[in-house]
Amino acid sequence: MVQPRIAGVQAETPGDRIRIALDLYEVGEKMLRARLRRERPDISQSELDQAIVAWLRRRPGAEFGDMPGRPSSRPL
């Protein structure tokens, strides 16, 4: 299996790949927060948190979850 490459990052183990994925998630969330703050400078922290959760629930391509199969009824 070919491992994906990110410049300057070595994913030697499955744990490394998980860490990289979580780091990328954190960076993405920070970028979304920054964009929302730019677009709505008066947004409160709780409104910002709610906007992040709302985006995660309806983001393009994952309306029914991230995996194919039967949708789950469990909340985020």
Please state whether 2 falls in left (phi above 0), alpha (psi between -120 and 50) or beta: beta
**Phi, psi values for residue 18, rounded to 5°:** -65, -45
**SS3 of 25, please?**
helix
34/21 Cα distance (integer angstroms) = 20
Domain ranges of the chain: 13-40
What are 23-71's pLDDT values in tens digits?
999 999 999 999 999 999 999 999 999 999 988 888 777 766 666 777 6
The model scores a pTM over 0.75: no
Residue 72 has pLDDT above 70, yes or no: no
**Residue 26: what residue type?**
E
